[in-house]
Amino acid sequence: MSKPYRAAIFDIGGVLTVSPVTRIKNFCVSHAIADEVRYAIFAPEDGPWSRFERSELTPEGFAEVFDEHVRPTGSPARGEAFLKWFFQGFEPRPEMLAVVEHLRGRVKLGSITNNVAREESPRRRTSGLDVHSLFDVVVESAIVGVRKPEPRIYEIACEQLEIEPTQAVFLDDLGANLKGARALGMHTIKVDESHRAIDELEEALGIPLPRP
């Protein structure tokens, strides 16, 4: 029997595309950026990347702070070059995009994404995907000024979809983001490189879903 979920809400990076987290780690390895420096830039809730995702830093401001962290290590990487690389986008996951397309018209569809640079074009902000044509609602941290796992960003998505959090299934690849959604009552599904998330979403919604 179908459960009373009225909406499916998807993360973008790591769900609809390959993981930016993995790609950033690989970038740092290839540019001789030590793990502790990468962590200081990208991990803390009040760190440079998190501030960039809330639009508290401009691209130029983030690049400057990136350089402040990296330059003393001797790495040749610079913030401006990193952003140019980052905004090339990430490889899509066709199997997950097919699921979204299949659900259109069957449930309400939303996306919640931690992204950067609100002045960039929508597609460049969202890993190269035209997600605004896929979803009824797209909530971007760079636009609303809060980021996952802050409760408010999930509330905004539910308000715009006109549902209660308990009526939503939320898919993400990061445990912290899932925990934040679960605290509000959402049904959460962790996405990895397998197709297990599709199986779990099919069971939750009671809707047969396509497989590769």
Q: Does the pLDDT of residue 2 top 60, yes or no?
A: no
pLDDT of res. 88? 86
| Cα–Cα distance, 181 to 110 (Å, whole number) | 14
Checking DSSP bridges between strand 168-172 and strand 187-190, what pairing results, if any?
Answer: parallel
Tell me if 169 sits within 8 A of 187, measured CB to CB: yes
Q: Does the pLDDT of residue 1 top 50, yes or no?
A: no
Going from the C-alpha of 199 to that of each of 37, 113, 212, the distances in angstroms are 38, 23, 12
- Enter the tokens of residue 171: 């898919």
**Residue 64 pLDDT level (bands cut at 50, 70, 90):** very high
What pLDDT, in 10s, does the model give residues 86-133? 988 889 999 999 999 999 999 999 999 999 878 777 777 877 788 999
| Cα–Cα distance, 66 to 78 (Å, whole number) | 7
pLDDT of res. 120? 78
| Cα–Cα distance, 33 to 37 (Å, whole number) | 6
| Cα–Cα distance, 153 to 122 (Å, whole number) | 18
All structural domains of the chain: 7-19+91-205 (3.40.50.1000), 20-86 (no CATH)
| Cα–Cα distance, 89 to 13 (Å, whole number) | 10
Closest CA to 59 of 142, 122, 177: 142
What pLDDT, in 10s, does the model give residues 73-84? 999 999 999 999
Query: Helical H runs in 114-162?
Result: 122-125, 141-144, 151-161
Dihedral sign for Cα atoms in the order 200, 205, 207, 209: negative
Q: What's CA 180's distance to the chain center, in Å?
A: 14
